[in-house]
Amino acid sequence: MCGIVGYIGHRDAYPIVIKGLQRLEYRGYDSAGIALYDKELKVYKKAGKVADLENFVKDVNLAGTIGMGHTRWATHGAPSDRNSHPHSSGDRKLTIIHNGIIENYAVIKETLIAKGHIFKSDTDTEVLIHLVQDIQAETGLDLLEAVRITLTKVIGAYAIVIMSADQPDTLIAARKGSPMVLGVGKGEYFIASDATPIVEYTKNVIYLNDNEIAYIKRDELVIKNIDNVIQTPYVHELDMKLEALEKGGYDHFMLKEIYEQARSIKDCLRGRIYPALGKVQLGGIGEYAEKLKNVDRIIIVACGTSWHAGLVGEYLIEEYARIPVEVEYASEFRYRNPIISDKDIVIAISQSGETADTMAALEIAKERGATIFGICNVVGASIPRFTDAGLYTHAGPEIGVASTKAFTGQVTALTIIAFYLAQQRGTITQSKLIAYLTELEGIPTLVEETLKCNDRVKEIAARFKDANNALFLGRGSSFPVALEGALKLKEISYIHAEGYPAAEMKHGPIALIDEDLPVVFIATKNASYEKVVSNIQEVKARGGKIIAIVTEGDTIVKSMADYVIEIPQTDDAFVPLLATIPLQFLSYHIAVMRGCNVDQPRNLAKSVTVE
């Protein structure tokens, strides 16, 4: 959600900033803007895409070795040129870009208006830069100190970069609740909301912590906290390859990322399971082995696709480790005064590691003494730094807004945790653990086989691309897969879709079924197979069009369904890792056929860093 890029050094800033904004387009946005300094402070901004901004500035002087850029996802004020970032102070000497929300901006704005400040946008961000100007004017403080004092007066979340016409060799950056990373070069620094715009230029990065302010010159970096105490930063080395940020010959990032799932699942498993030994080995989580043996309850908190992964985890952990699990929407959990104690383990799941609601839920859990684990894809993100321990999914950068490989990575991580807990608690025999881990090790190969269904799914998509509604049904751990299939179709093709447990169809959704409604069943051979067959017969009797995901060689469902997609035989525990792939393909091809922007669906952001 929103994107920030900044540069100060010896190179021309504009090419770095504009390419950085293009790298950040996956985060979701509705407008873009840049600020450059070359003898004067220049600001250019435009509603629309980065390409619209490029066209807008094609005939202007873009010189300067210091600059910053922003892609905005609207919160305060509709998408428009005037609400786009950067925003300037009243005297035009300061300009700011900002991710996040300033919650008390309205009160501050009233005070500033009474002092004579005139605002040109509807944003909270413009209020912030006017406040910096006002504090400087009243106190005579230098810019760094004025920014620090300003940030003590605001409530909310922010990642900001500020440029000054009076200090043209300086950038000031700060964060609280929104991510920010600094790239360290030779005589140059880079700033971004994540590492994707930086990796092309340097592997050395510093992750700003909450309430930290960076004073950045070409040959100097000073980091203070909001209490004015100098901080000693830790320089991390990025483990990210530039080619991972390119489409690699695919039409869309989403399609590329669907096809990357065999590799990403294998990477998630690597070094964690040892089938021949019947052993699961986890690093950080292993330090809590004693607590895991005796834990009374696990609470999983997540949002969106990550919540669906959590539901799969609930089935697996309860089945194999025999621990009660609750799966909570982080956005609701934080406002419900939940009952948590130091006997609980809370697992947070987030692709980006920056999801605002999930972070807030973790803060509550930590305050009440729970042990906090995290499952995250982005190394160095806020959630893994906040948690006691956890697992990285190692899925690699996911650029498409609709999560694909991140989902299967999260499910894989939860599967590993489920068997680790079962191993620690003695709820599974050694022979069974060996069998399960052997099958799990082979899942990447079965994913490769499943990916061959693409052409078949494309044919089915052509039949249903004009549907107005769709129903996705599954039982057991395939119910969350149905939820995820429905979400994918909604978010990238804009077709209304709902996921339900198959047995719940009779309790309402059956009223929707007619000859125009596609009904997608996850109908693999498992303990609930006969029940799902009965549900399929009920839909067929009412004229619904049935698309069935079945186990390879199935003949019973094949005789009833209108369209069948086969996946390889595997144990019930691992069906979600295979069954979700045809549903990803289905939503992808329908969206393409409908002319939708697959990688950047409307109104959506990849990383939701505000409530």
Contact partners, residue 511, CB within 8 Å, separation at least 6: none
* CATH, range 267-441: 3.40.50.10490
Specify the pairing of strand 389-392 against strand 469-474.
unpaired
Decide if 83 contacts 31 (C-beta within 8 A): yes
Buried b (16+ CB within 10 A) or exposed e, 374-389: bbbbbbbbbbbebbbb
By annotation, the residues acting in catalysis are: 2, 606
DSSP state of 282: -
Distance CA 39, CA 4 (A): 23
For the beta carbon of residue 581, count every other beta carbon within 10 angstroms.
Answer: 26
10-residue block means of pLDDT along the chain (611 residues)? 90 95 83 94 93 93 95 83 93 94 92 95 94 95 94 92 95 91 95 90 92 95 94 85 71 93 95 94 83 89 94 97 94 85 91 84 89 88 86 88 94 96 94 96 97 96 94 93 96 94 80 85 87 86 90 92 95 96 97 92 65 53
DSSP 596: -
**Residue 115 in 3-state DSSP?**
coil
The pLDDT of residue 356 is 82
| Domain 451-601 in the same topology as domain 267-441 | yes
Kindly list the strands in the beta sheet with 41-47, ordered across the sheet, starting from the edge strand earlier in the chain.
41-47, 31-37, 66-72, 3-8, 189-192, 181-184, 204-207, 236-237
Nearest Cα to Cα of residue 169 among 185, 151, 188? 188
pLDDT of residue 299: 95
The pair phi, psi for residue 285, each rounded to 5°, is -65, -30
**Is 602 exposed, middle or buried, given 0-12, 13-18 or 19+ CB atoms closer than 10 A?**
exposed
CATH number among 3.30.70.330, 3.40.50.2000, 3.40.30.10, 3.60.20.10, domain 3-244: 3.60.20.10
- Amino acid identity for residue 333 in this structure: F
Superfamily of domain 451-601: Glucose-6-phosphate isomerase like protein; domain 1 (3.40.50.10490)
Confidence at residue 511, expressed as pLDDT on a 0 to 100 scale: 76
Tokens of residue 174, six digits: 């700060």
CB neighbours of residue 583 within 10 Å: 26
Task: Report pTM.
Answer: 0.82
Burial profile 536-557: b = 16 or more Cβ within 10 angstroms, e = fewer: beebbeeebbbbbbbbeebeeb
Instruction: Give residue 243's pLDDT.
Output: 62
Domain boundaries, the chain: 3-244, 267-441, 451-601
**Average pLDDT score, the chain:** 91
